[in-house]
């Protein structure tokens, strides 16, 4: 390389490795557009090398007892706590998060690691009864093999933790396809787990574009389980390729998540949570509340409060800022184009609708928090996940209409409803077609022990994290034996 910028390499078998060819991608600071580093653009050959390393490491790693694997994960937790500041600083720069948000994400990843480290002393099976006299049955969990993990850049260390720790505690080895827009945090994590005592080859990282390296990971017969978080369109492709070879595939995909405000809601609390759901992390959440559905009788009052809240939010990457930029220039331009199209389709911009004009944001990928009213429920922006700080507002007359509109989407990831009525809240929760429903809070908010995943185009029925994640990363074996009384 001619320039002096940091170079991010692959991590294979416990050390940094260059790619097969001398091809590099630029990673740019989303806040100011400056070049942060160069990333190796891996090929199919590089991915195969990583899979080979994981395959060779599998017998020894899976041969450890779950308790011992949990002890090693506990050492990783300690290292994450010790280096939490370094991890958070990397995330803040790479993704354009304010520091308190980056620290919160690291803390969430640590909690995830702690939970699955503890599974080493559980990893429960079941005892089963039999119709045959003297026959005793029980189930055990056994590892699948090599796990191919493909993560996005919106919450990079959290995404890595959600997949890596359940995969490891079950005894699998890992090849992680790092997100192109958060390459360094994946490399830092790889170095950290090695320093904490994870054997070489158990955790490997491939950098670069997904078209070559990610596709090779999905297609390789040696990869037994594939876990992908990202867009529904890519998820469908992965399901097709992985399904043909009968690989286990776990998909956590997009969402167009409804946020319902009833006529008896605490409007100030509803505004607080609607703003966080739509605009925190610059709207870059699969669980973002991007469709705000409001009862007609409180619509004007709620809109006034929400617009005022949106306009009060502080852009930037300094401490105390509410939201930073979106992850890259291409995403910014796609979002701005979607806003322009929404206006052409009859949408009224209540606030935002453009990039900020202040010079301090001119080189970054910023978008003002945007609220759009008046779109038909069939309009593209009412239906399509946008992954930015943009939400549409919709008026309904009652709870039945709210439920119908909330369910009028191919997605089914999350939902939230604000009401003082326990009956109404629970009725809605039972009838909404989503994998997660929150009452009087936001549309996001999973915890390490809670399953997360969606219906319809939001996934394929698997769940991460929680104990349910063990079903993704382990095979269930039923063992039976017969006690013969004549042998006593």
Q: What is the DSSP string of 38-49?
A: EEE---HHHHHH
Among 2, 7, 3, CA closest to 17: 7
Query: What architecture is the 6-252 domain classified under in CATH?
Result: 3-Layer(aba) Sandwich (3.40)
Query: What architecture is the 258-439 domain classified under in CATH?
Result: 3-Layer(aba) Sandwich (3.40)
Dist. CA 377–CA 291, nearest whole Å: 10
DSSP labels for 258-300? EEEE-TTS-HHHHHHHHHHHHHGGGG--TT---EEEEEHHHHH
399 within 8 A of 422, measured Cβ to Cβ? no
Question: Do the bridges between strand 474-482 and strand 135-143 make them parallel or antiparallel, or are there none, so unpaired?
Answer: antiparallel
Structure-block tokens of residue 105: 């994400």
Dist. CA 170–CA 66, nearest whole Å: 7
Amino acid 261: pLDDT: 98
Collapsing DSSP states into helix, strand and coil, what is residue 251?
strand
pLDDT of the chain, 488 residues: tens digit per residue: 445 579 999 999 999 999 989 999 999 999 999 999 999 999 999 999 999 999 999 999 999 999 999 999 999 999 999 999 999 999 999 999 999 999 999 999 999 999 999 999 999 889 999 999 999 999 999 999 999 999 999 999 999 999 999 999 999 999 999 999 999 999 999 999 999 999 999 999 999 998 889 999 999 999 999 999 999 999 999 999 999 999 999 999 999 999 999 999 999 999 999 999 999 999 999 999 999 999 999 999 999 999 999 999 999 999 999 999 999 999 999 999 999 999 999 999 999 999 999 999 999 999 999 999 999 999 999 999 999 999 999 999 999 999 999 999 999 999 999 999 999 999 999 999 999 999 999 999 889 999 999 999 999 999 999 999 999 999 999 999 999 877 76
Amino acid 211: pLDDT: 85
87 within 8 A of 254, measured Cβ to Cβ? no
Residues annotated as catalytic are: 252, 286
Domain ranges of the chain: 6-252, 258-439
Our measurement of the distance from residue 105's CA atom to the centroid of its chain's CA atoms, rounded to an integer in Å, reads 12
Amino acid 1: pLDDT: 40
Angle at CA 166, nearest 5°, toward 160 and 170?
Answer: 140
Dist. CA 111–CA 165, nearest whole Å: 11
Collapsing DSSP states into helix, strand and coil, what is residue 172?
coil
């Amino acid at each position: 390389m001619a320039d002096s910028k940091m170079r991010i390499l692959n991590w294979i078998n416990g050390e940094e490795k260059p790619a097969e060819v001398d091809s590099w991608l630029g990673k740019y600071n989303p806040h100011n557009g400056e070049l942060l580093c160069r990333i190796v653009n891996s090929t199919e050959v590089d991915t195969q090398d990583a899979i080979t390393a994981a395959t060779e490491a599998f017998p020894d790693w899976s041969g450890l007892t779950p308790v011992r694997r949990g002890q090693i994960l506990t050492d990783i937790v300690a290292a994450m706590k010790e280096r939490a500041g370094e991890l958070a600083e990397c995330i803040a720069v790479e993704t354009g998060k304010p520091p308190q948000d980056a620290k919160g994400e690291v803390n969430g990843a640590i909690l995830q690691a702690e939970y699955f480290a503890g599974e080493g002393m559980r990893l429960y099976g079941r005892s089963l009864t039999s119709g045959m006299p003297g026959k005793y049955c029980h189930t055990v969990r056994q590892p699948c093999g090599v796990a191919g993990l493909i993560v996005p850049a919106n919450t990079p260390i959290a995404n890595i933790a959600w997949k890596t720790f359940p995969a490891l505690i079950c005894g699998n080895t890992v090849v992680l396809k790092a997100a192109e827009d958060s390459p360094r945090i994946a490399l830092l994590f790889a170095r950290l787990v090695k320093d904490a005592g994870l054997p070489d080859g158990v955790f490997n990282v491939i950098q670069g574009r997904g078209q070559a390296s990610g596709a090779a990971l999905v297609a390789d017969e040696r990869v037994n389980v594939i876990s992908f978080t990202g867009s529904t369109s890519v998820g469908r492709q992965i399901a097709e390729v992985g399904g043909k070879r009968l690989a286990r595939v776990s998909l956590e995909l997009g969402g167009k998540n409804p946020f319902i405000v009833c006529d008896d809601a605490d409007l100030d609390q509803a505004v607080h949570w609607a703003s966080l759901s739509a605009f925190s992390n610059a709207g870059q959440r699969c669980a973002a509340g991007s469709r705000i559905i409001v009862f007609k009788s409180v619509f004007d009052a709620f809109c006034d409060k929400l617009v005022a809240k949106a306009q009060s939010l502080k852009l930037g990457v300094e401490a105390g800022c509410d939201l930073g930029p979106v992850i890259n220039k291409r995403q910014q331009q796609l979002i701005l184009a979607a806003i322009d199209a929404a206006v052409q389709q009859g949408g009224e911009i209540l606030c935002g609708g453009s990039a900020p004009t202040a010079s301090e944001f001119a080189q970054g990928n910023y978008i003002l928090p945007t609220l759009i009213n008046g779109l038909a429920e069939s309009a593209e922006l009412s239906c399509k996940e946008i992954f930015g700080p943009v939400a549409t507002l919709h008026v309904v007359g009652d709870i039945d209409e709210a439920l119908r509109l909330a369910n009028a989407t191919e997605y089914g990831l999350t939902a939230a409803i604000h009401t003082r009525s326990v009956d109404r809240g629970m009725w809605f929760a039972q009838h909404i077609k989503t994998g997660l429903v929150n009452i009087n809070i936001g549309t996001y908010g999973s915890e390490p022990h809670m399953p997360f995943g969606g219906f319809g185009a939001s996934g394929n029925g698997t769940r991460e994290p929680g104990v349910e994640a063990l079903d993704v990363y382990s095979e269930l074996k039923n063992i039976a034996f017969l006690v013969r009384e004549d042998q006593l």
